[in-house]
Structure 1
């Protein structure tokens, strides 16, 4: 791997070679280099690279360095934030699969799961700090902002020439996703330096400096492979790792107990534009399946649940699949791809909280009086028997 301290010293020594100023009256070819770099990142569909993150704060006698392997998928179906990723380092690995996020600890063999992500949740995820994702998203804003001073230099590292793209910002810096800028609470001038390969137009390093400070933040990108062999499908599901890692027990809710009254809810019906409430089915045996899109067990459950749906009289039995995590578009894609034949509902996550759902899939069977008679993992034999017995009793 490259020695980034050495790399930085070389940049400082030789970066004054060829300057293409981009301020008023500047040559257009300098700005074109920014554009070509941005276009290259926008064209990526999948990419794998070795990622290095290094902080050096001399005044505080602080130095931190971490590195790992990053895989990013920018496919169109990744609609929440425009990508999904897997990152692995010596401490464990983390996965964002377009809806949920999970990370493992190599030290204590635990897995932490967050089933519903929002854009704000990505701030602080170390694998995303000044990453290719950040650059891909922020460069169009940098190029289009006339208040950001930009220039391009030719720099020599070893015997190889690279582009050095500089842009200076006042009192703000890119957020982790690169979808905007984070404002500082004090006046700070940030000098941003991007080392770009002249042939591939892929990034080599992203360096951030502050005026009047010797602090250096830098991320490095090496061993870049465009359109690499993708990870296995099962690697995107946390359920694939539960035999090797135990789920973190902190604040894990307990699923609703047998004998309790099933909490009512009103959710959107995916097949139509309407809503449906649980109490509408009172007098029937109701099976609720709580599921998420990126779950191998949930995928494998579909044929068995389709069979249950076909087996019993719809006037006496109702199967409802509840997904309060994924977007409507993602759910519709899942239904089509896996040929789901029963009703699927979506809506507020409070339903999961009311039923104590912390893993997927989870099943809750409710009798005709609205009382829970089973709760827990998918066990078709047990559920089939209970449904059959209770339908005979209610006949």
Structure 2
């Protein structure tokens, strides 16, 4: 475990007020330093650091500062964003476990959960603004774009040597994830400065300025630890926190009621790639489990469902575990790791909407004629009795 600690406040405001206009072309030696930083960040598997974000807008008499503790894991299989993270500060904490994104509020003790995460959901998250994640993702684009002028200078801060990597962009700036540039609606020249410790070759600050303005956006990374101790496994699941935090009310979604005709669907069986519909199981009771990978309750459900399948599968019960969130590879890994003995299927989220599913796991038991017998949590005694009567 490598630890890089920067307890001092980097006094770089003098360096950001020097000449910010860059000349055309990038010297090869400067480009090598940009590449070295990019390669260093790409090599990081897990990292933790103290994160400080500061906005200073003198013309508007505005100053804002926030800070907290960040843990990022780039080494896991992450389908959507290429990472997962946990961030904590005085206002609460946020977690993205590569499937779900949830945030808590220390003030009202609530938790807000988003199960179907889109890339746009990361915009506006404080912990990601001009972060290590941003730099890791945007640097290859900066290096590869010849229209972006780049330059490297050296400086001493507290008698320690640092590189100052400068790059200039016109009418665009990195988005929160650094996956692309956000284009501005007005003409703005952005001056970007990355302060890099020469010894560790890790960034300790990212400063963003605008031509003709005294506004400064600045993020600092201190107490950096490479390959830190990983957070406990259950800390990645929102279900772990439901005793301490009340789920924040979202748009009302009602689970389908017993007595209704079960909506048909067309899904794909993960094991074979074949199309699966509810209609094809007419004449057999069917148990649907709606689940996602990063859910402790879903993991705990596996042995219970395995037992039901072993007990009733030979008599005609069909269990289908529906996952519309995770990749096929992630589902395969889950099935292997937890020794699932029933079928898993995937498809688009319309099946969740048709059954009114907004939390996981949810169970739907359907009789031989396609009528819903039960909908709700995994209640083994109730399901056991119902299945026994409907075979």
- Identify the residue that residue 332 of structure 1 maps to in structure 2: 332
| CA displacement at 1:313 relative to structure 2 | 4.2
Q: Distance in 2 between matches of 1:293 and 1:160?
A: 46
User: TM-score when scaled to structure 1?
Assistant: 0.93
- Identify the residue that residue 384 of structure 2 maps to in structure 1: 384
Segments of structure 2 that go 5 or more residues without pairing to the other structure are 1-5
Q: Does 1:31 align with 2:22?
A: no
- Deviation per CA, 1:110-132: give whole Å up to 9, x if none: 11111111222222222111111
Q: Distance in 1 between matches of 2:252 and 2:63?
A: 36
- Identify the residue that residue 233 of structure 1 maps to in structure 2: 233
Q: Distance in 2 between matches of 1:22 and 1:214?
A: 21
Any idea what SS the aligned residue of 1:192 has?
A: strand
- Identify the residue that residue 157 of structure 1 maps to in structure 2: 157
Any idea what SS the aligned residue of 1:7 has?
A: coil
| CA displacement at 1:29 relative to structure 2 | 2.2
- Identify the residue that residue 277 of structure 2 maps to in structure 1: 277
- Identify the residue that residue 89 of structure 1 maps to in structure 2: 89
- Identify the residue that residue 46 of structure 2 maps to in structure 1: 46
Q: Distance in 2 between matches of 1:316 and 1:330?
A: 28
Any idea what SS the aligned residue of 1:93 has?
A: strand
Q: RMSD of the TM alignment (CA)?
A: 1.8
Q: Distance in 1 between matches of 2:32 and 2:324?
A: 45
Any idea what SS the aligned residue of 2:262 has?
A: coil
Any idea what SS the aligned residue of 2:12 has?
A: helix
| CA displacement at 1:2 relative to structure 2 | 6.1
Contact 1:102 1:113 in 2 (8 A): yes
- Deviation per CA, 1:67-111: give whole Å up to 9, x if none: 111100001511321111111111111111111111111111111
| CA displacement at 1:297 relative to structure 2 | 1.0
Segments of structure 1 that go 5 or more residues without pairing to the other structure are none
Any idea what SS the aligned residue of 1:301 has?
A: helix
Contact 2:134 2:176 in 1 (8 A): yes
Q: Distance in 2 between matches of 1:170 and 1:63?
A: 25
Q: Distance in 2 between matches of 1:353 and 1:111?
A: 22
Q: Distance in 1 between matches of 2:386 and 2:162?
A: 69
Q: Distance in 2 between matches of 1:22 and 1:123?
A: 32
Q: Distance in 2 between matches of 1:232 and 1:65?
A: 29
Any idea what SS the aligned residue of 1:200 has?
A: coil
Any idea what SS the aligned residue of 1:312 has?
A: helix
Q: Distance in 1 between matches of 2:37 and 2:23?
A: 15
Any idea what SS the aligned residue of 1:112 has?
A: strand
Contact 1:46 1:73 in 2 (8 A): yes
- Identify the residue that residue 342 of structure 1 maps to in structure 2: 342
- Identify the residue that residue 178 of structure 2 maps to in structure 1: 178
Q: Distance in 1 between matches of 2:246 and 2:282?
A: 38
- Identify the residue that residue 219 of structure 1 maps to in structure 2: 219
- Identify the residue that residue 75 of structure 2 maps to in structure 1: 75
Any idea what SS the aligned residue of 1:258 has?
A: coil
**Aligned with 1:11 (options 10, 15, 29):** 15
Q: Distance in 2 between matches of 1:249 and 1:34?
A: 46
- Identify the residue that residue 299 of structure 1 maps to in structure 2: 299
| CA displacement at 1:12 relative to structure 2 | 3.9
| CA displacement at 1:332 relative to structure 2 | 1.2
- Identify the residue that residue 207 of structure 1 maps to in structure 2: 207
* Alignment length (residue pairs): 385
| CA displacement at 1:158 relative to structure 2 | 2.5
Any idea what SS the aligned residue of 1:31 has?
A: helix
| CA displacement at 1:314 relative to structure 2 | 4.0
Any idea what SS the aligned residue of 1:298 has?
A: helix
Range with greater deviation from structure 2 (189-198 or 154-163): 154-163
Contact 1:22 1:30 in 2 (8 A): no
- Identify the residue that residue 3 of structure 2 maps to in structure 1: none
| CA displacement at 1:23 relative to structure 2 | 4.7
Contact 2:171 2:183 in 1 (8 A): yes
Any idea what SS the aligned residue of 1:304 has?
A: helix
Any idea what SS the aligned residue of 2:11 has?
A: helix
- Identify the residue that residue 360 of structure 1 maps to in structure 2: 360
Q: Distance in 2 between matches of 1:294 and 1:83?
A: 14
Contact 1:47 1:225 in 2 (8 A): yes
Any idea what SS the aligned residue of 1:107 has?
A: coil
Q: 1:312 to 1:63 in 2, by over 3 A?
A: same
Contact 1:252 1:358 in 2 (8 A): no
Q: Does 1:111 align with 2:111?
A: yes
User: TM-score when scaled to structure 2?
Assistant: 0.94
